[in-house]
């Protein structure tokens, strides 16, 4: 039978706890597989030029559905979608109210980057 020293056991216990702590970071913690799949499918539609999907992707970023919550990305996609979508304009106004001026500027810059990528 293998005998481990107290130091070895402590190292093994700490290593195990560290690895267990990383598991949520590797598995889209708190997101269902359906949310992740929906986000990925929506992103593909946006990349293909589907303007209706921009609104949906903005909501994914706004609410952290299938992707980490990101107000700058949410702002950018809602801003793009808001050109033709009333629901996106309303959510964008709600988001703008809680963002700092610097964050709004970053969102506007990101919108310009996305517009170049799309066209």
**27: confidence class by pLDDT, cuts 50, 70, 90:** very low
**24: confidence class by pLDDT, cuts 50, 70, 90:** very low
On whether residue 110 sits in a domain, the answer given is yes
Question: What is the pTM (predicted TM-score) of this model?
Answer: 0.73
On whether residue 8 sits in a domain, the answer given is no
DSSP-derived letter for residue 78 is H
Give the separation between CA 53 and CA 78, rounded to whole angstroms: 10
Q: Residue 3 pLDDT more than 70? A: no
Q: State which residues form the domain around 78.
A: 33-118
What is the total count of domains within the chain? 1
On whether residue 41 sits in a domain, the answer given is yes
């Amino acid at each position: 039978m293998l005998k481990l020293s107290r130091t070895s056991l402590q190292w093994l216990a700490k290593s195990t706890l560290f690895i267990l702590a990383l598991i949520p970071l590797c598995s889209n913690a708190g997101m269902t597989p359906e949310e992740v799949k929906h986000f990925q499918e929506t992103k593909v539609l946006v990349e293909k030029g589907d303007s209706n999907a921009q609104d949906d992707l903005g909501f994914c970023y706004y609410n952290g559905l299938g992707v980490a919550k990101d107000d700058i990305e949410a702002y950018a996609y809602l801003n793009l979608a808001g050109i033709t979508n009333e629901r996106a304009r309303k959510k964008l106004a709600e988001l703008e109210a809680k963002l700092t001026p610097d964050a709004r500027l970053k969102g506007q810059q990101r919108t310009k980057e996305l517009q170049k990528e799309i066209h």
